[in-house]
Amino acid sequence: MTTIAAQIAENLQADRQRIAAACARCGRSAADVQLVAVTKYAEPTWVRALLDLGVRDLGESRPQQLVQRADEFSEPIRWHLIGHLQRNKVRPVLPLVAMIHAVDSFRLLKRIELLAMELQLQPRVLLEVNISGEAAKQGFTPDELSKGWTAVRECRHVQVEGLMTMAPRSEQPEASRPVFRGLRELRDRLADDERRLPELSMGMSSDFETAVEEGATLVRIGSSLFESCPSSKPEHSRD
């Protein structure tokens, strides 16, 4: 194993142990939390190291790069689009993704629904909610999503499986807790027999343990996986 591959293996093990410890603190099973390895800034050799370690859930922020990565690697990969998706970029992405994390408007949801019907697909999506209310962040407000929930109920070709959010940047992971708790509580209010909303995508390298304690089922981890790898880039807003 090369030095870089060994470093990534060590980082991956450490992150999985942190997830397991967070689950133990709140009485959850570590099997209920999926680590999505964010590869936006990862070099191809780093992605190869993850694949060799058996990691198959990979996240990309940009639709064009996801399409390029999907063409570059032949292994069966569950691609997660975790960044903003413009309506005119839905078609090339839809057949490739296992999940779209950041559906941030009813217009985008409708576009995905129409193309899913046309392409005979059943894409899994999450609705992005701006729990913190930051002007710079995208996503539904909780009130907007609650009032427009009929549009979600009407989807027949899109599997709306849960919610996603991003906490404000902070050096203190505890600062993210109210945001993660708010997303979980919103999910609990919206879920019903028709839309159970089992998934909560929240938490990145700096705060994923807090997210797990508040109910995250998907954590988006990038920078901590590649820590100490040469030319590692700073953590991005979506990790």
Whole-number Cα distances in Å, 202 to 30, 34, 82, 182, 199: 15, 11, 11, 11, 10
**Other Cβ atoms within 10 Å of 41 Cβ, number:** 17
Tokens 């779209």 locate to 100
90 SS3 class: helix
Spatial distance between the Cα atoms of 12 and 239, rounded to a whole number of angstroms:
15
Longest dimension (CA), the chain: 53
Residue 144, pLDDT > 60, answer yes
Residue 230 inside a domain? The answer is no
Residue 159 inside a domain? The answer is yes
Buried/exposed code over 83-104 (b: 16+ C-beta within 10 A; e: otherwise):
bbbeeebbeebbebbbbbbbbb
Among 127-136, 179-188, 229-238, the minimum mean pLDDT is found in: 229-238
Read off the pLDDT of residues 75-118 as tens digits, 9 standing for 90 and up: 999 999 999 999 999 999 999 999 999 999 999 999 999 999 99
Residue 163 inside a domain? The answer is yes
Identify the CATH number of the domain in which residue 84 sits: 3.20.20.10
Residue 45 inside a domain? The answer is yes
Q: Name the pLDDT band for 232 (thresholds 50, 70, 90).
A: very low
Spatial distance between the Cα atoms of 116 and 122, rounded to a whole number of angstroms:
6
Spatial distance between the Cα atoms of 51 and 12, rounded to a whole number of angstroms:
12
Residue 160's domain comprises: 3-221
Per-residue pLDDT at 233: 54
Residue 192 inside a domain? The answer is yes
Residue 130, pLDDT > 80, answer yes
H or E element at residue 164 = strand 159-164
Residue 232 inside a domain? The answer is no
- Counting the structural domains of the chain, the total is 1
Spatial distance between the Cα atoms of 164 and 183, rounded to a whole number of angstroms:
8
Q: Name the pLDDT band for 238 (thresholds 50, 70, 90).
A: low
Per-residue pLDDT at 182: 98
